[in-house]
Each structure stands twice: as structure tokens, then as C-alpha cells.
Amino acid sequence: MNPIIEEIVRNAHKLYERQNTEPITKTNPFLYNVSHLCITNRELMGQIPAQEGGYLGFAYMNILDLTDDSRVFQIYSTISFYFLEKALKYGYVNDTDFSPIHVQTLNDALIIMNIGARSLCRTFAQAQGIVPSNNINFDNFYSLPSYVKQILLCEYSYFIEFVEALETRGITIDREPQMYQRFNMLKKFVSTGFFEEFGTASSLYNKAKEVRSLVYSYAASKIEKGDIIFR
């Protein structure tokens, strides 16, 4: 493995492993190193192995959460999505027992669908050749463009996978009241036809996987060439 990639991965691991003892703030040395090394070696970002993608997705989720500059929200939310989906798509293929980082990656994907939704939806639109609107009423679910509804649809699919992962580890989602409530809201959307434009209730999970794959491929086509500018 390239030494710079090794250093990026090492810092991402330490960020994750020490999160309970080393506060994740703007001054966290591991977070800084991940950000600095990636930005100054962006041509290598696409070469980070899928098995390490969850750690990088976790790092960029926190970078997004700590960033005040709205001009880079789409960049950071898309990079986080790229690494999280890369890990879920290719990195955990044989992880049937759901390792802690696998569960964490699913949890982080749910967070990205929330904290990054308003910027990530632009990447969802662009992946489909749609020019995203600058004027969206995010408070009215029923007026949302299709590409924004797809964020909710993908969130629903991540919840299905997250619940399965938790159950494998003997945990039920109702132990987390906010997540339990959010999943129930999305299940209600399914049952009341909110997602009907994407297919029948029984086909929505597979449709979400198709959307995730499409957006991942679009993000990968840029990031793997060293182009991380999404706007």
C-alpha cells in the first residue's frame, strides 16, 4: 500500500478507535491529518481500499459536522457517502456477523442522510443529469423533488440493513428512541405511498440500492480521478 494511503488509513483508524478518549473537535490531530493528507493527495483518495472505507466515511462525516463553510458541505457530504457506500458495497462482502465497524458504517450512513441531506441531494440530482434547484422547501416533505425524496428512500434502505445488523448482535433499534421514531416515520411513508413514484412497497429497498449504486458510481468517477469538487 502506498505510504501516504497507509498514513491516511492509520489516522482514520485512530480517530475511530479513540473517539471516547480523544474528543472529535476541529483540533483533533487524527481528524486534521486525514483531512490534510486527503486534500493534498486527492489523486490517491480513490485508491483507499474498500475495507477501510468505513473509517474514512466516519472521518468525513465528522469533518462535515464540524464545518461552518456551506460552500464545502456538498464536497464533504459526498466524500463521506462515497467512502461509506464503498465499504458497504465492496468492503464487507464476507462480514456476515457484522463487525463493529460495519455497524458503525451503517449508523454513519444514516447520519449522513440527515446532516448532509441538503447538500448531498445536489449530488443525487447531478448523478442523474438533473440540475438541482436552489430553492427547496425541506420542511414540506410532499413538495420535495424526486432526487430529494431519494435521500429519504436511501435512508430507509440503510435502516433496513442497520436493523438487521443490530439484530445479529442481539440489539433492537427501540433502544435508541430517536432512531426508532425516525425508522417508523419512514416505514409510514412506505405504507402510505409517499415513495410510490419509485415502485411498489416491496420493491423500494431494491430501488434504493439502485439509486445508491448510481450515485456512488458518479462520485467515484470524479473522486478516483482526483476531482473532489462537487457543487
pLDDT digit string, tens, across residues 140-163? 988 999 999 999 999 999 999 999
What is the rounded distance in angstroms from the CA atom of residue 16 to the CA atom of residue 133? 35
pLDDT confidence of 96, banded at 50, 70, 90? confident
31-39 long-range Cβ contacts below 8 angstroms, 24+ apart: 31/59, 31/62, 31/63, 31/66, 33/7, 33/8, 34/8, 34/59, 34/60, 34/63, 35/59, 35/63, 37/4, 37/7, 37/8, 37/11, 38/8, 38/79, 39/228
Q: What is the pLDDT of residue 52?
A: 98
Asked if residue 123 lies in contact with residue 219, where contact means CB atoms within 8 angstroms, the answer is yes
What the block records as the C-alpha cell of 10 is 492509520
pTM of the predicted protein model: 0.96
Task: List pLDDT tens digits, range 36-53.
Answer: 999 999 999 999 999 999
C-alpha dihedral sign at 114, 36, 31, 94? positive
Spatial separation of the C-alpha atoms in residues 149 and 141, rounded to whole Å = 8
CA distance 63 to 58: 9
Q: What is the DSSP letter of 149?
A: H
Q: What is the CA radius of gyration of the chain?
A: 17
Range with the lowest mean pLDDT among 43-47, 113-117, 138-142, 224-228? 138-142
